[in-house]
Chains A and B, each alone.
Chain A
Amino acid sequence: MNLNFLIKLSENDKRIIIAFFLAIIIVFVLFGLFGSLIIRTMKWQGKKCDELINEVVINKIITTPSQLRKYARKKNRRCFLKQAWIPVALIVLGVLSIIIHNAATNNWSYNPFNKDDGFGTLLFVWDFGNADSYTKVFGLTLLKEWPPLVNTPHFEVKALVSYFAIPALFIGGIWYIVAAQSYLARTIRAYKLARTIFDKNLDNYNQNTPIQQEVPTTTTIQ
């Protein structure tokens, strides 16, 4: 045990250690909040499964857990296909446009993100590859100053294909991920319902408690 090391820590070092642990706590708290958000979203998406199998379960057409899982799987699959066909179409269109562009220009090494004839022409681009911007600190290579600006947003006719393909791929990709998450949520919900709906649980049952008779309600028509 290096007690000498602990005694030799200065106030500044202690502050750095405290700040470091605080940063870790904040990072984990942010992960916790983000994870809670995802779980709440998935619970809300899973309610769609209840809507899909509601009438069939209430009318007792399905009477066993295996029947429910099978029926729910088919309905969830169809719901996923209906939700995800638009993003898949966008992704397919984006990929097709790049393939057609490469075939037309006979350049199969085309990078749609480059700053000369790609989507990079619309963005601010800094030269992070410049070695003059870096320095070594305790054996670590760190930035000493912000890299120089290489490109400012401007319009290029040659990059027109990337102006369509990149947004289509980006939007389609995000949309498809959300649809896949919804499909996962509904599948989890279906398996949970198959377990709870047909559960013959006697935890809260007591044979000695009297059965409460339902009071008949009278309705008066005015």
Chain B
Amino acid sequence: MAGAVAGPPSVKVKRKSSHRKGERSRADRHRWYDCLVGIVSPGFQGRPRSSEPALPPGQYLTEDFPVLSAGPTPKVPLDSWEFVITTETGAEYRWSWSELMALPQETPEVDIHCVTRWSKLGTTWQGVSLDTLLDGIDTNAAYVTAHSYGGYTTNLPLDDLRGGRAWVAHTFEGGDLPAEHGGPARLLVPHLYFWKSAKWVRGLRLMTADRPGFWEAAGYHDYGDPWREQRYQGD
């Protein structure tokens, strides 16, 4: 059953907006509980246009980039920024900002889907693939906890960070990633709900056992596939 619900590929989808401004601002003026209990029902969702790619179930389209945050925005100076991958044996692999920038860069264009029901299509980023960062790291781990400056955590299967599906992204739409959107750098894992794309990412802990992160421990889904609408535990 799960495999039957396959959406269009989320990478490299390009579209033009045809929405009026009034509709957009109304849809974006939401709070968490509006989305969850269905107070907000964007009017443009009911009549799909044939030229539009389908959105995951229960999502609406936004042209803005809503800022969601569970705490204060950390300010991380680049000269002290680091990214560290820690394996299940305690081995550490570290990159400074300049070392990250010296790695091969990719420019993914992806659709992103927030569990609070907005989706944004065709966003462009620049960053370093997790394939590059994980290359040569000896591990038997199956799970990852991504952890962030400011204390946020989220868990993912390690396989979901491989295969050209995940990046440490530092540039958004051609400019430095703003702090409110996770800069200097955030995880970008667009095939899962966007809470998995940890803002202000500081490192990955590779683990042999799964361990729920911040929202997962609060009742959100362990995996979070938007095309299967895995929002909450039990979905």
**Are A and B interaction partners?**
no
Binding site for A on B (CB under 8 A): none
Binding site for B on A (CB under 8 A): none
